[in-house]
Amino acid sequence: MEQNLVRRIDPDSGRTTRKIRTGNDRSQIAAGHDAVWVVNRADGSLSRIAPQTNSVIRAISVGESPVAVAVGEGAVWVANAGDRSVAKIAPRKNEVVKTIPVEHRPQSVAVASEGIWVTLRP
């Protein structure tokens, strides 16, 4: 069994065109800022994939047990269930620039023009 892979699929043929190795226990994926972003729960990281080269160009430490990722408002946002936080990543710097504590374990995250939306589980 192939583990820790993200597959790039041709939408016309439905065939896998690339297999890209990321971190451990990947759970969510998003695209934006000329990159594909993959959450790696077991590693506490976010992989940044360059679509032009089909390779991981950076693994960013984001927090404990990241479970979701969203792109918007000039940043990449990661919900961390383990430490009950949302991390804001600056795509140009490839680093966490802000960590927002939340009351419970976040499960998902979305971005809208009026803020960051997070679902929580006690």
What is the distance between the alpha carbons of residues 39 and 59, in angstroms, rounded to a whole number? Answer: 10
Residues with Cβ within 8 Å of 64's Cβ and at least 6 positions away in sequence, in order, are 44, 80, 81, 82, 83
pLDDT for the residue numbered 27: 86
Give yes or no for a contact between 99 and 77, defined as CB atoms under 8 angstroms apart.
no
Give the model's pLDDT for residue 1.
Answer: 55
Query: What's the pLDDT at 10?
Result: 96
Domain ranges of the chain: 5-121
Give the pLDDT score at 69: 98
Which residues are CB-contacts of 101 (< 8 A; sequence separation ≥ 6)?
A: 84, 85
Q: How far apart are CA 18 and CA 92, in angstroms?
A: 25
What pLDDT shows up at residue 4? 87
CATH of 5-121, picked from 2.130.10.10, 1.20.120.450, 3.40.50.150, 3.40.50.2300, is: 2.130.10.10
The confidence score (pLDDT) of residue 14 equals 97
pTM > 0.85: yes or no: yes
Q: What is the pLDDT of residue 113?
A: 78
For 85, the token pair is: 């936080």
pLDDT in single tens digits along all 122 residues of the chain: 578 899 999 999 999 999 999 999 998 999 999 999 999 999 999 999 999 999 999 999 999 999 999 999 999 999 999 999 999 999 999 999 999 999 999 999 999 978 999 999 98
Compute the C-alpha angle 84/86/90, nearest 5°.
Answer: 150
